[in-house]
Every structure is written in structure tokens, then in C-alpha cells.
Amino acid sequence: MSTGELSGRVALVTGGASGIGAACALLLEERGAVVYPADIASGPGLSALDVTDESQWDTLMAGIRQERSRLDILVHAAGISAASHLPDTAFSEWRRVLATNLDGAFLAVKHGMRAMGKAGGAIVLIGSVSGTRPAAGAAAYSTSKAGVAMLARTAAKECRNGGLPIRVNVVSPAGVKTPMWSAMPFFRDLVATLGSENAAYDSLTAAGGGLFAEPHEIAESVCFLVSDAARHVTGVELLLDGGYVL
């Protein structure tokens, strides 16, 4: 894709404060889109959004419509992780992960479809290979991401059957070097033992976890899926895992 290929398109990116969301927002802007990064965290240039609160979706979408009269691209990168063995998982933790990762994705698709309507557009949800290959010790996370993949396929089918020119796809990476990963307790323990984050990532790769990606690598695939080059692609889960699930 060339610089300016997405010129004039209006994009909303959730989870835009860091990690994959921030990388997507930056690359979309570089490609010419007008980008609204949103996050539960506050910061310069960020729109406030708790993805589990529908009233906040209403407010954000109304603001974008007022300023730009349209929405062409929605990238839903907001999400959380948690790690605990299933018998030790508190119900509150289960609900928290499902609410953010799956309910949040539902609200993103619902409001994205409403905003795009007959004018059309492209929605990309950030999933995970943990939704395809289960991650032991992370039942809530794996279950939520499996649900995200089915949500995207269902939404894509609804749009196709209803004659709406809206494409819905999922990008599902394996490990990515993001703050969500680096904040995990077991990862911090590895860093303390091995001396650096890079050593910890290398250790996980050597143990069979696959090569960790950089956020900008995931953003490249997202930008492809929202571009005209992918105009025939919908209802697809793109695994960015180096063959981890094979």
C-alpha cells in the first residue's frame, strides 16, 4: 500500500493508546485516513471510550458523525488478558474478560454497522490465535477470542445477506510485544529472572510459543484488510502466527 491510499477516509480505532491499537492508528494516519483513536485511558488526541459502556459508544459515534458525517473504517483493538488456572479463576475475572473482549467487540460491530450503513465500510476486530489453539491457564481469554472470530463471521454474513457493503474481518496474532504482554505477572517473573524483556520474549519463543511480532507488523495486515485491495475479503480470520496453530 502506498502513502495516501486511504486519503479522506474516516477511521475509528479503539484501544488506541498503546500496543496494536496505537500502531494501527499511526499507520492509518500515515496512509491518509482521518483517525479517531479512542481508549479507556486518557491522553492527548484520545477520545474517551469504555468499550463495555454502550452509552459511551453512542456519544462517540454521534461526535464523529457531527464532525465528519461518515465512518469508513473501524478497527477494534481494545482488549484485556488474564491468566489463571480454570479452577482458580474467579467468576468476576471471567466476567471482566468476557465483558471487555467479547461484549466490547459486539458493541463495536453493532455501532460500526449502524454508522456505516448503506455507504459501506470495513470493520476489523483484533482476535488472537488463543481463540483457535486454546491457551492453558487463560480460559476466559481464549473463550472471548473464539467468540470474536464467530462474531465477525456472523456480522459479515448479515451484511452480505442484507446487501450492506460492509466487510467484517478478524486479525488474530500470536504473541505481540505490547504492554498487555509485558504486564503479565508470569512475564514480569521471567524478566526478573532473565534480566530483560527481550530475553524473556526469546525464552518464550524457544519454548515453542512462536516468534513475537511487533505491533506495526499487525497494523500492516489491518491496513490491508480495510483497503480496496481487500474489497473481496469478508468474514475471514487472518492468523498472524508464523504457523503456531499448525
In the annotation, is 201 catalytic?
no
CA distances in angstroms from 151 to 20, 105, 158, 184, listed in the order given: 20, 8, 11, 27
Q: Who contacts 62 (Cβ-Cβ below 8 Å, separation ≥6)?
A: none
What sections of 4-136 are H helices per DSSP? 19-30, 54-68, 91-98, 104-116
* Edge-to-edge order in the sheet of strand 121-126: 47-48, 34-39, 10-14, 73-76, 121-126, 166-173, 237-240
> Rounded distance, CA 177 to CA 18, Å?
11
User: What phi and psi, each to the nearest 5 degrees, are found at residue 30?
Assistant: -60, -30
36, 141, 201, 244: the active-site residue: 141
Q: Determine the Cα angle at 24 with ends 105 and 1, to 5°.
A: 120
Q: Are 32 and 9 in contact (CB under 8 A)?
A: yes
Active site residues per annotation: 141
